[in-house]
């Protein structure tokens, strides 16, 4: 519940919870039974009770009508309740519980239960500190129990309550009263403000005035109020280490912002002349609540203004201003988190400020923890529900907080509003009180873990068995213990006939074949427990036929050709004699129709049933106890014959039309319809075309693939089933002709021929394209002449033998298996006369300029041209014929190609192309330039040296790479290091000045030439160096001879004889010097050690190390280190002895070769002999 102001914090507690039925403290009693068990009738329209019969309450809305109008006749029985909550009384501050029980025997799911106070107030939304609603289910009795607990009752909790239960179309309700007796405190005056308080302020029903309080007795007793808690005062006086705990307990989320504002509040406020009473330092209110700011002015005529975060507040439905004498009041309704701010009021030049803190409603525990009893080793779950999803909840064990540590025995699971504490395997020390705490409430429960008592998991069941059947008694207890069986009080021992089984917690008593003497009372008694599990066994033997599974009039229908095996269960002791007969003729146990008899059944078997087998069959049972007989009717039916093969009467592009005749024999049942199937001729997979029966004898299959051969067949269907398929139809192929050819045009004309060209059809289809037919006719006639007697698969054809000067019309048709397509006509008549077309070279734009390629690249130029008839093409290079061994030329009717696989600089030049048609000529020239990287400059000279500058000059390279020089790159190098550094790039002149050189250094310079292919491969370096001298006398450096550091290898530290322990790593060390650096080689017994993983060799700063990994005795011997360089070599050696022998098997398992093991074993044996 929200807090209207700082002072009203304790006045707006959660709505009082409903009362308990039993009060441990004061022993509350209920009313008479006839009042408790009656259902509540609909209250009067005004929804209020008589003033003299109900105490004042600001908690309820719309109390029920007087009790007299709510009572019903006692004879009206409850439809769902088996126990109703009864009226009770409780003293102020006491606890009470109300209980309602509903039987779940006829219910498929849990019923819906609601608790109300008065007429409409649903108490589910009021659960919290004073009210808890619980529910449980007892599986053995199948009873749902619903409880309403009222904790620390107050006087305004008194009134009429109602419990409603509903399940589908069933409904039941019960009303009861709670009387809260007066406390020992003195009566206080009526609180008018409390009576007119808006009920549920800040909740969902906020805003509805509760006038019912004024209609009740005026003698209102002062409620027992809890001490008011001011969070801000707590924080002011609290230790900083307790800030977080207080923030969680009172629902504070922005702790850091609150502390900053609290720091501002601690500043001392100077005494004001304008305000007789100022604002409090801070106010707090719950979200959705109402707050009241009040100041008292010394001068009521002073103009007053209110501000929120510096913005002036204007009157509205949210902000309400009120004047009372010198008091100025500001009300803020329905507070939200946006109202959490700093407020101040100004009177003239003076200001008075405060802080308003808006906090979210506290998190309430809507479903409390329940006391739980369990056994050692069981999984335990303690669950509760809170009012908000994913709320911050803390768990405690005996007051100590539990952490959700992955290594902890306790695991906390959150599912929306439900929070669960899980203990996977309960232990004895888990006995404790567990509690859960939220910002608005808490709940606790006790967990009791005990040793498991003996329980009967599965009791023996009374059995009635037929004579000769198995008697099987089975029980299961909670512990694995032995036990004894008794019959009629006598101990039963195991025998050949009586089998006693014990496996784990299950005990079984089995008699394979029951007898009359087996009837009696049986009992199982577990050892060491004063428990017995009894049952009764009854043996019966009536002879009887069991015909429950047969149809009407005991009729059995069988399909002709199938086998009938009709099994009739029979009972009787002794085993009855079974006789089957048909008419006056008995049925034997052999033949196509035969009878088979078994101990508990008899079978009538008909192999390959025929229609003549239809008729009544009689079965008779006889034994010494009596007789039983019955007539069984056998009806043989069959599926229809298959129809004749269907006929395909019409074929389209992807469809066909098929017809067929009905079958000659319908199998004794009318034809219901037909199923159609089709398949590709080359396939064996049939596909059903209709899933609903076709009544007619014609069908049109669709969506077939053009050009694929298909077959179809038909099935006839009657009530028995589907006939065999008909014979397939003759195969057929859906086909369609192609579309006409496209883009028909004249390709060439001579004096006696016309060449036509075209493009294939846009749509060819699955039938493919076999070829084309070209036809022509002379202008003025309608006779079309076929130009190609045989189909042509080309898209170009020449019509020969035409008279010169005539005009013809041409058309082309595409032909496939479906026939000829529509013709494609040439739009104009064609004159049969050769036309001379002058030659013209169509030189591509990029060849009109110099065509440049690098050395090694491919040159492939295509130059189209025009000219008819028979254009002649010729090429020249620089006025001379082209060498075709280096340059390839290929000519066609429309273009010419010049191809150079790998270009060289010698291929550069002007290429002249000439096209001739009779006396007409056209020419074109192509300039091809093959380029390469340039050579270096000819010479680089140091012209002058002054200060820190050097002036260089050079001559361009003799070889420019067949391309213009685009620049130069200049580099410098110090004479001492001779490392080159670039100082200029892309420099265009042949002289340059190098600046910012280091005084005292001597430099060389070199220059690279650059063209479009890049820098020259080599550079030209200055022959002389340039010394950047210091000012003054030039120092002449003395000349020293280089010292000879060369030395042949020499060991400065030799190897030392060493003892090693078998299985532990051993190292050999020595040191050597020499120049050049010598190469180190290790030897064992004068054999070089190479690629052996058991040895590791190191050499660092002249120190040589050989590491032997886990040596064995056979690793002992003489080791040599050899150092070799160009001036000589040196050796040093030592002996290694490995103590601690190994067995032959151990050496073999370690991977030692057998011949080495034999040698080692012989050496060991020899050493032992010498030792003796």
Which residue matches tokens 């098997």? Answer: 1145
pLDDT, position 229: 55
Rounded to whole angstroms, the Cα distance separating 209 from 215 reads 13
Phi-psi map region of 177: left, alpha, beta (phi>0 left; psi -120 to 50 alpha): beta
What six digits make up the tokens of 1078?
């010598």
Rounded to whole angstroms, the Cα distance separating 391 from 364 reads 10
Q: Determine what percent of the chain falls in helix, strand and coil, rounding each to the nearest 5.
A: 10, 45, 45
Rounded to whole angstroms, the Cα distance separating 1135 from 70 reads 117
DSSP 576: P
pLDDT, position 694: 92
Residue 348 neighbours by CB distance under 10 Å: 12
DSSP 792: B
Rounded to whole angstroms, the Cα distance separating 775 from 530 reads 116
Rg of the chain's alpha carbons, rounded to an integer?
58
pLDDT, position 199: 36
Phi-psi map region of 664: left, alpha, beta (phi>0 left; psi -120 to 50 alpha): alpha
pLDDT, position 467: 78
The number of angstroms, rounded, from the C-alpha of 507 to the middle of its chain's C-alpha atoms is 48
Rounded to whole angstroms, the Cα distance separating 1136 from 505 reads 70
For 717-765, give the DSSP string. E-SS-BPPPPPPPPPB----PPPPPEEEEEEEE-SS-EEEEEE--S---
pLDDT, position 75: 36
Backbone angles phi, psi at 660, to 5 degrees: -155, 170
Q: Which residues of 979-1016 are buried (b: 16+ CB within 10 A; e: fewer)?
A: eeeebbeeeeeeebebeebeeeeebbbbbbbbbebebb
pLDDT, position 644: 92
H or E element, residue 397: strand 394-397
Rounded to whole angstroms, the Cα distance separating 227 from 523 reads 66
Residues whose CB is less than 8 angstroms from the CB of residue 462 and which lie 6 or more positions away in sequence, other chains included: 535, 536, 537, 538
Question: Is residue 900 within 8 Å of residue 859, measured between CB atoms?
Answer: yes
Rounded to whole angstroms, the Cα distance separating 812 from 815 reads 10
Residues whose CB is less than 8 angstroms from the CB of residue 617 and which lie 6 or more positions away in sequence, other chains included: 580, 581, 582, 587, 604, 631, 632, 633, 634
Residues whose CB is less than 8 angstroms from the CB of residue 76 and which lie 6 or more positions away in sequence, other chains included: 38, 39
Rounded to whole angstroms, the Cα distance separating 907 from 875 reads 14
What six digits make up the tokens of 201?
């302020």
Rounded to whole angstroms, the Cα distance separating 336 from 286 reads 8
Rounded to whole angstroms, the Cα distance separating 208 from 122 reads 15
pLDDT, position 759: 93
Tell me the sheet residues that pair with 329.
294, 322
C-alpha distance across the termini of the chain, in Å: 104
Angstrom distances, CA of residue 1099 to CA of 1046, 1055, 1079 = 20, 14, 10
Residue 847 neighbours by CB distance under 10 Å: 18
What six digits make up the tokens of 895?
């273009």
Beta-sheet strands, E only, within 139-185: 143-150, 159-167, 170-181
Helix boundaries (H) for 309-448: none
Beta-sheet strands, E only, within 834-987: 837-841, 851-854, 859-868, 872-877, 880-881, 888-891, 895-900, 909-917, 920-931, 940-946, 949-954, 967-974, 980-987
Angstrom distances, CA of residue 616 to CA of 195, 591, 784, 923 = 91, 18, 84, 113
Q: Which of 159, 192, 163, 191 is nearest to 175 (CA)?
A: 163
SS3 1022: coil
Mean pLDDT, 10 residues at a time, the chain of 1172 residues:
36 37 37 35 35 34 35 49 90 90 82 84 79 85 89 86 86 89 51 36 37 38 45 66 66 59 56 83 83 88 88 89 88 88 88 84 86 85 88 87 82 89 86 88 87 83 84 88 90 91 92 87 86 87 80 82 87 81 86 87 89 86 80 86 91 87 84 93 91 92 87 92 92 86 88 90 83 92 90 91 90 87 91 84 89 91 86 89 88 90 90 89 92 92 91 93 92 92 92 90 94 91 89 67 87 91 88 93 92 90 92 89 94 89 64 70 69 53
pLDDT, position 107: 79
Rounded to whole angstroms, the Cα distance separating 939 from 934 reads 15
Q: Which of 675, 667, 668 is nearest to 714 (CA)?
A: 675
SS3 622: strand
Residues whose CB is less than 8 angstroms from the CB of residue 820 and which lie 6 or more positions away in sequence, other chains included: 737, 773, 813, 814
What six digits make up the tokens of 495?
């025998």
Residues whose CB is less than 8 angstroms from the CB of residue 621 and which lie 6 or more positions away in sequence, other chains included: 543, 544, 545, 570, 572, 576, 577, 578, 627, 628, 629
The size of the chain, in residues, is 1172
For 176-225, give the DSSP string. EEEEEEPPSSPP----HHHHTSEETTTSTTTTEE-GGGTTS-S--PPP-P
Tell me how many degrees the CA angle 1044-1045-1047 measures, rounded to the nearest 5.
115
Question: Is residue 99 within 8 Å of residue 133, measured between CB atoms?
Answer: no
Rounded to whole angstroms, the Cα distance separating 200 from 289 reads 10
Backbone angles phi, psi at 338, to 5 degrees: -70, -20
For 306-333, give the DSSP string. EEETTEEPPPSSSEEEEEETTEEEEEE-
Interstrand relation of 949-954 and 940-946 (parallel, antiparallel or unpaired): antiparallel
């Amino acid at each position: 519940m929200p807090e209207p102001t700082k002072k009203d914090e304790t006045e707006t507690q959660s709505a009082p919870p409903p009362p308990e039925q039993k009060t441990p403290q004061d022993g509350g009693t209920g009313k008479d039974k006839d009042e408790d068990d009656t259902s509540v009738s609909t209250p009067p329209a005004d929804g209020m009770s008589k003033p003299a019969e109900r105490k004042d309450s600001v908690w309820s809305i719309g109390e029920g009508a007087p009790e007299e109008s709510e009572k019903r006749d006692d004879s009206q029985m409850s439809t769902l309740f088996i126990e109703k909550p009864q009226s009770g009384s409780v003293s102020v501050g006491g606890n009470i519980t109300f209980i309602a029980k509903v039987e779940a025997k006829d219910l498929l799911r849990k019923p819906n239960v609601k608790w109300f106070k008065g007429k409409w107030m649903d108490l589910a939304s009021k659960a919290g500190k004073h009210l808890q609603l619980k529910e449980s289910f007892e599986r053995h009795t199948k009873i749902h129990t619903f409880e309403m607990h009222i904790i620390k009752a107050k006087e305004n909790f008194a009134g009429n309550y109602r419990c409603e239960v509903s399940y589908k179309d069933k409904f039941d309700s019960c009303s009861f009263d709670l009387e809260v007796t007066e406390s020992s405190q003195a009566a206080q005056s009526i609180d008018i403000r409390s009576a007119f308080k808006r009920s549920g302020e800040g909740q969902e029903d906020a805003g509805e005035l509760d006038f019912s309080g004024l209609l009740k007795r005026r003698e209102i007793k002062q409620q027992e109020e809890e001490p008011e808690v001011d969070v801000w005062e707590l924080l002011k006086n609290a230790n900083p280490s307790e800030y977080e705990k207080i923030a969680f307990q009172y629902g504070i989320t922005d702790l850091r912002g609150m502390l900053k504002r609290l720091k501002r509040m601690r500043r001392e406020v100077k005494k004001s002349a304008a305000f007789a009473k100022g604002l409090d330092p801070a106010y707090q209110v719950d979200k959705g609540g109402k707050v009241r700011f009040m100041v008292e002015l010394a001068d009521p005529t002073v103009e007053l203004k209110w501000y929120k975060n510096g913005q002036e507040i204007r009157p509205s439905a949210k902000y309400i201003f009120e004047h009372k004498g010198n008091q100025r009041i500001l009300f803020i309704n329905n507070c939200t988190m946006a109202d959490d701010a700093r407020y101040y009021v100004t009177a003239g030049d003076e200001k008075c400020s405060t802080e308003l803190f808006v906090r979210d409603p506290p998190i309430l525990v809507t479903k409390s923890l329940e006391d739980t009893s369990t056994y050692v080793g069981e999984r335990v779950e303690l669950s509760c529900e809170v009012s908000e999803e994913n709320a911050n909840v803390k768990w405690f064990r005996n007051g100590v907080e539990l952490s959700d540590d992955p290594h902890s025995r306790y695991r906390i699971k959150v599912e929306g509003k439900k929070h669960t504490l899980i203990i996977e395997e309960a232990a004895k020390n888990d006995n404790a009180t567990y509690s859960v705490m939220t910002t608005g409430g808490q709940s606790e429960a006790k967990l009791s873990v005990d040793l498991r008592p003996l329980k009967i998991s599965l009791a023996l069941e009374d059995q009635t068995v037929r004579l000769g059947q198995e008697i099987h008694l089975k029980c299961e207890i909670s512990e694995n213990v032995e036990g004894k069986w008794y019959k009629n009080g006598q101990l039963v021992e195991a025998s050949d006939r009586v089998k006693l089984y014990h496996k784990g917690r299950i005990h079984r008593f089995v008699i394979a074949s029951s007898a009359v003497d087996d009837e009696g009372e049986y009992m199982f008694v577990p050892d060491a427990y004063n428990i017995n599990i009894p049952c009764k066994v009854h043996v019966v033997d009536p002879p009887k036929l069991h015909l429950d599974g047969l149809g009407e009039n005991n009729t059995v229908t069988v399909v002709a050709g199938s086998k009938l095996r009709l099994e009739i269960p029979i009972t009787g002791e002794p085993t009855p004699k079974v006789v089957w007969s048909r008419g006056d003729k008995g049925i034997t146990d052999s033949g196509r129709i035969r009878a088979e008899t078994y101990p508990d059944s008899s079978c009538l078997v008909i192999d390959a049933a025929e229609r003549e087998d239809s008729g009544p069959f009689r079965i008779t049972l006889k034994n010494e106890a009596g007789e039983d007989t019955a007539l069984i009717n056998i009806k043989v039916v069959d599926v229809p014959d298959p129809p004749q093969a269907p006929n395909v009467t019409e074929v389209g592009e992807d469809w066909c039309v098929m017809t067929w005749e009905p079958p000659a024999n319908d199998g004794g049942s009318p034809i219901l319809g037909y199923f159609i199937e089709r398949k590709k001729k080359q396939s064996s997979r049939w596909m059903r075309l209709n899933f609903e029966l076709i009544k007619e004898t014609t069908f049109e299959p669709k969506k077939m693939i053009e050009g694929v051969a298909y077959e179809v067949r038909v099935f006839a269907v009657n009530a028995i089933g589907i006939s065999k398929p008909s014979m397939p139809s003759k195969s057929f192929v859906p086909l369609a002709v192609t579309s006409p050819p496209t883009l028909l045009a004249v390709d060439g004309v001579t004096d006696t021929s016309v060449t036509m060209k075209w493009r294939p059809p846009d749509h060819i289809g699955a039938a493919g394209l076999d070829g084309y037919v070209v036809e022509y006719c002379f202008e003025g006639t309608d006779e079309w002449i076929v130009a190609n007697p045989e189909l042509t698969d080309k898209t170009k054809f020449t019509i020969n033998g035409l008279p010169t000067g005539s005009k013809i019309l041409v058309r082309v048709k595409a032909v496939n298996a479906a026939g000829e397509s529509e013709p494609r006509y040439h739009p104009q008549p064609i004159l049969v006369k050769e036309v001379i077309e002058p030659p013209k070279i169509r030189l591509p734009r990029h060849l009109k300029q110099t065509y440049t390629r690098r050395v090694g690249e491919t040159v492939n130029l295509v130059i189209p041209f025009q000219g008819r008839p028979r254009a002649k093409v010729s090429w020249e290079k620089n006025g001379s014929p082209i060498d075709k061994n280096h340059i390839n030329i290929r000519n066609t009717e429309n273009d010419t190609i010049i191809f150079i696989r790998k270009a060289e600089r010698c291929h550069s030049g002007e290429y002249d192309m000439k096209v001739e048609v009779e006396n007409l000529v056209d020419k074109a020239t192509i300039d091809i330039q093959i380029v390469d990287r340039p050579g270096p400059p000819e010479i680089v000279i140091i012209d002058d040296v002054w200060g820190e500058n050097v002036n260089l000059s050079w001559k361009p390279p003799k070889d420019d790479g067949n391309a213009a020089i685009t620049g130069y790159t200049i580099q410098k190098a110090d004479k001492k290091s001779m490392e080159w550094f670039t100082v200029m790039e892309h420099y265009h002149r042949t002289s340059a000045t190098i600046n910012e050189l280091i005084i005292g250094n001597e430099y060389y310079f070199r220059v690279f030439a650059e063209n479009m292919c890049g820098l020259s491969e080599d550079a030209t370096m200055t022959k002389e160096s340039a010394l950047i001298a210091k000012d003054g006398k030039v120092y002449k450096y003395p000349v020293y001879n280089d010292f000879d550091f060369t030395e042949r290898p020499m060991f400065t530290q030799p190897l030392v004889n060493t003892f090693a322990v078998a299985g532990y790593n051993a190292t050999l060390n020595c040191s050597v010097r020499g120049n050049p650096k010598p190469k180190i080689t290790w030897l064992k017994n004068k054999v070089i050690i190479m690629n052996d993983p058991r040895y590791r060799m190191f050499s660092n700063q002249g120190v040589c190390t050989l590491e032997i990994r886990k040596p064995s005795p056979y690793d002992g011997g003489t080791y040599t280190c050899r150092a070799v360089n160009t001036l000589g070599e040196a050796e040093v050696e030592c002996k290694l002895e490995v103590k601690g022998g190994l067995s032959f098997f151990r050496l073999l398992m370690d991977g030692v070769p057998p011949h080495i093991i034999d040698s080692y074993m012989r050496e060991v044996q020899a050493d032992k002999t010498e030792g003796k």
